[in-house]
Structure 1
Amino acid sequence: MQIGFPKFPLYVLFLWLAAAPVQAALDIEIFGGGATQIPIAIVPFAHEEKLGQSITSVVGADLQRSGLFKLVDPRGLAPHEPMEVVYPEWVSRGAGALVIGSTITLPGGNVAVRVGLLDVAKQVQLASYSETVPAGQLRAAAHRIADLIYEKLTGDVGVFSTRIAYVVKEGKKYALQVADADGFNAQSVIEYTEPIISPAWSPDGTQLAYVSFENKKPVVYVQTLATRTRKAVANFKGSNSAPAWSPDGKKLAVVLSLMGGSQIFLVNADGGGLQRLSQSSGIDTEPSFSPDGQSIIFTSDRGGSPQIYRMPITGRASGTAERLTFEGSYNVSPDYSRDGRSFTFIHRNGDRFNVAIQDLATRQVQLLTDSKFDESPSFAPNGRIILYATEVKGRGILSAVTSDGKTRQQLSTQAGDVREPAWGPLPRPQ
């Protein structure tokens, strides 16, 4: 949750528990699966056993986590080239698609990887892929292969090569961490003994905005990941919180109490050009930009209870807010889908706080989770999965749910309290 609801009964504002040291990867446990899954067999690549990292195991784990694929056991069959495939053998196993490939370790430590994706029923090759990578980057190559397979078989973009950000509480230390979408390769961006909240990715994935309490008050910083350099872009009198990037990366929406009460402002990415957006007697917070940058959705108690509103920020209607949520008395933390057709948020359902999704055209709401305390939902770039924080046995962990609610994942460190997740953008073409 964002800071900015001091009078609301938020259930988990800084609910950080003492924890053991943070681990470098997240454990992933998958629950359920889509009603219609693509049966796919992934044959271990030729000479893969000589590598320090299995490529096919990463590809399989990626596809399975999406909820759209069912892995078919390839044991006893080991084709590595299309001409080696005996299609009836795979038909009898129920495979609809087949992945084969090979690896060659080259002088100097690089690895040449070749992959083929085959349609078992039509007995044709759907795609091929090859690249040469350093041995230490085999996981990244595996994610790119999984993205290719996902795109070819679903028609949608894969998100396995993306990154996530989240905050971990370790004893009295708070660490803002960035990891691959599967939780591996976690690295701390910044660490302090004061809270860090609300990480937000820049559209190009090179920067993170976040709120730090290192100076005993909430200040919004923007940090460049490659250089670790950072700048305070909102350090005004009072509270500075809830940063959200505009789609072009030139501005941030921030929540300030500069003029009394929490209201939404625009500020340039370098900290200049302050402009007030919302004008209400209530608390306006947690902004999220529409993909076209023409409007924001946000949380406000202007109607007496926290609800989601939409407000144009350009044109004649600028500043006029429209209420979007009407089911229940508590709906917070909205995040626009990347296609702009829906948004995810936290909905109070009895004594539970659950991830929900609402279609903007039909206003239909669907609850996606049934846990006790969920917070901070964040869409994957393809809109198919939502990352969020929840609690298990009193400890904060990360979870994910598909946008249809059919597949859930728990992503948890071995120890520690994990909160405030944010899913990064698609990687830019090299």
Structure 2
Amino acid sequence: MRLPRRRFNAALAAGLGLGAWPAAHAQFRVEISGIGATQLPVAITRFRDEDKAGQPISAIIRADLERSGVFRVVDSSGTLDERSAPAFADWRGRGADALVSGSASKLADGRFDVRFKLWDVVKGTDLVGQALAVPAADLRLAAHRIADEVHQRLTGERGVNATRIAYVTKAANRYALRITDADGEGGQVALASPQPIISPAWSPDGRQLSYVSFEAGKAVVMLQDVSSGERRSVASFRGSNSAPAWSPDGRRLAVTLSRDGVSQLYLIDLDGGNLRRLTTTNAIDTEAVFAPDGQSIYFVSDRGGAPQVYRMPASGGAAERVTFSGGYNISPALSPDGRTLAYVTRDGGAFRVMTLELGGGAPVAVSDTRDDESPSFAPNGRLIIYATRAQGRDVLMTTTLDGKIRTRLLSSGIDVREPAWGPYGR
């Protein structure tokens, strides 16, 4: 079974376990494409004195809300802050249903006092106002948290802008595993290597990452503490050790091992003990992912002659086929509510991200690119991040589940692959 070349031909050399990680200067910018069926029109004015803070707070909030696919930003010109009394008739004339404004003031201790207010323009009332005192290094995070508060107040659903993503970059034959904000900026370099890094996966509590390393001359599954950089081997058996996936309780990993010949699925504790084989076939079984309730595992197998997504009990047992449309389907990912499957299908010579409602329905193509890999759901289940290739570069994209709003995260001079969206909490 041929799986995506970047993931399965890549190798990981000895990395740097860093206690104090350098900042990740990915220099991302955002391009939005597509039109959503229903979007809430919101105005976000420039925050007073944000130019003195060193971060474009209002622009970060604007990009966050646009990327969600739920909001449409309207004309936001004008001078306003959280203390102002908005001319609601004027904002209604611009087509806004909601209005966000605020300020960023430097305090005597060097921190910044970031304030904002959200108004309901239709009713002419204020909905929420907050003040955050943050160090300069956390100004981006403060902007993301404001965007999440606006998202939740206006939709009733939790936003994901203050969460993190992990991904792998390549520049001048150097590779790095980066942990950044959900928009791909800020954060740290968690691991640096002259060799490729593959298959990062977040623990459910967001405190650890698993990935695959080749530094010992073969594929080895590693764990790394996100805060300290401490790392250790979990699976280093004879043959290949690959494709780690966390159980929902964070106590075990599902891994793909070839220790007994062909690649099969196993469960292993985080200390490397209590190894248990889940599949016993002559086929290649790989790319496991747990259902959110922990009762079943989805995986890829070529037992039917070509790679397809299957499902079986998490304790092992009979497997049932899940994907039937298309002759080549790989890289399954499950939404947090367990209702939607994302995967990559081969369509002619192209590889595209698809979604499938597991309760019934036809697969939906959510990308318009040709070299997609590694779909991963946001923790609210409303967005998918994936890797692809565009204009000669490896890039990251996010998409809504219907594919109507796609966001390209563009980097300067580096290739970006292997995204994994982290859980809530940081």
What is the TM-score with the length of structure 2 in the denominator?
A: 0.93
Letter in 1 for 2:333: D
Contact 2:64 2:183 in 1 (8 A): yes
Residues 1:8 and 1:104: Cα distance change in structure 2 (over 3 Å): closer
- Equivalent position of 1:8 in the other structure: 2
Deviates most, 393-402 or 372-381: 393-402
User: Equivalent residue of 2:283, what SS?
Assistant: coil
Contact 2:296 2:314 in 1 (8 A): yes
Q: Deviations over 1:27-55 (max 9, x none)?
A: 32211231211111112223333322232
- Equivalent position of 1:401 in the other structure: 399
- Equivalent position of 1:327 in the other structure: 325
Contact 1:23 1:415 in 2 (8 A): no
Contact 2:40 2:71 in 1 (8 A): yes
- Equivalent position of 2:18 in the other structure: none
Residues 1:15 and 1:407: Cα distance change in structure 2 (over 3 Å): farther
- Equivalent position of 2:415 in the other structure: 417
User: Equivalent residue of 1:164, what SS?
Assistant: strand
Instruction: State how far apart, in whole Å, the 2-side matches of 1:23 and 1:145 are.
Output: 23
Instruction: State how far apart, in whole Å, the 2-side matches of 1:79 and 1:27 are.
Output: 26
- Equivalent position of 2:51 in the other structure: 49
The Cα shift of 1:12 comes to: 4.4
Residues 1:49 and 1:23: Cα distance change in structure 2 (over 3 Å): closer
- Equivalent position of 1:250 in the other structure: 251
- Equivalent position of 2:29 in the other structure: 27
Letter in 2 for 1:262: S
- How many residues align? The count is 413
Contact 2:354 2:364 in 1 (8 A): yes
Contact 2:3 2:330 in 1 (8 A): no
Deviates most, 171-180 or 222-231: 171-180
Q: Deviations over 1:119-170 (max 9, x none)?
A: 1111222222222111221111000000011111122111101111111222
Alignment partner of 1:91 is 2:85: no
Instruction: State how far apart, in whole Å, the 2-side matches of 1:186 and 1:111 are.
Output: 19
Instruction: State how far apart, in whole Å, the 1-side matches of 2:49 and 2:387 are.
Output: 39
User: Equivalent residue of 1:189, what SS?
Assistant: strand
The Cα shift of 1:348 comes to: 1.4
User: Equivalent residue of 1:183, what SS?
Assistant: coil
User: Equivalent residue of 1:94, what SS?
Assistant: coil
Q: Deviations over 1:241-262 (max 9, x none)?
A: 0000111111111000111111
- Equivalent position of 2:39 in the other structure: 37
The Cα shift of 1:68 comes to: 1.6
Contact 1:81 1:100 in 2 (8 A): no
The Cα shift of 1:211 comes to: 0.3
- Equivalent position of 1:272 in the other structure: 273
Unpaired stretches in structure 2, ≥5 consecutive residues: 11-23
Letter in 1 for 2:414: G
Residues 1:202 and 1:74: Cα distance change in structure 2 (over 3 Å): same
Alignment partner of 1:364 is 2:369: no
Contact 1:297 1:308 in 2 (8 A): yes
Instruction: State how far apart, in whole Å, the 2-side matches of 1:54 and 1:394 are.
Output: 29
The Cα shift of 1:111 comes to: 1.5
Deviates most, 37-46 or 135-144: 37-46
Contact 1:23 1:414 in 2 (8 A): no
Q: Deviations over 1:272-315 (max 9, x none)?
A: 1111112221011001111111111010001111000011124x
Instruction: State how far apart, in whole Å, the 1-side matches of 2:149 and 2:234 are.
Output: 38
Q: Deviations over 1:202-221 (max 9, x none)?
A: 11111110001112211000
The Cα shift of 1:174 comes to: 2.1
Between the two proteins, what is the percent identity of the paired residues? 51
Contact 1:27 1:414 in 2 (8 A): no
Alignment partner of 1:179 is 2:180: yes
User: Equivalent residue of 2:326, what SS?
Assistant: coil
Q: Deviations over 1:160-190 (max 9, x none)?
A: 0111111122233222111111111142211
Instruction: State how far apart, in whole Å, the 2-side matches of 1:259 and 1:76 are.
Output: 68
1:28-427 matched pairs, under 5 angstroms? 28-81=30-83, 84-314=85-315, 318-427=316-425
- Equivalent position of 1:4 in the other structure: none
User: Equivalent residue of 1:205, what SS?
Assistant: coil
User: Equivalent residue of 1:63, what SS?
Assistant: helix
Contact 1:324 1:363 in 2 (8 A): no
Instruction: State how far apart, in whole Å, the 2-side matches of 1:215 and 1:135 are.
Output: 40
Instruction: State how far apart, in whole Å, the 1-side matches of 2:79 and 2:175 are.
Output: 49
Instruction: State how far apart, in whole Å, the 2-side matches of 1:394 and 1:100 are.
Output: 39
Unpaired stretches in structure 1, ≥5 consecutive residues: 1-6, 17-21
- Equivalent position of 1:3 in the other structure: none
Q: Deviations over 1:44-80 (max 9, x none)?
A: 2233333222321211111111122111222235253
Q: Deviations over 1:380-404 (max 9, x none)?
A: 1111111111112443111111111
Letter in 2 for 1:159: V
Instruction: State how far apart, in whole Å, the 2-side matches of 1:187 and 1:402 are.
Output: 27
Deviates most, 97-106 or 281-290: 97-106
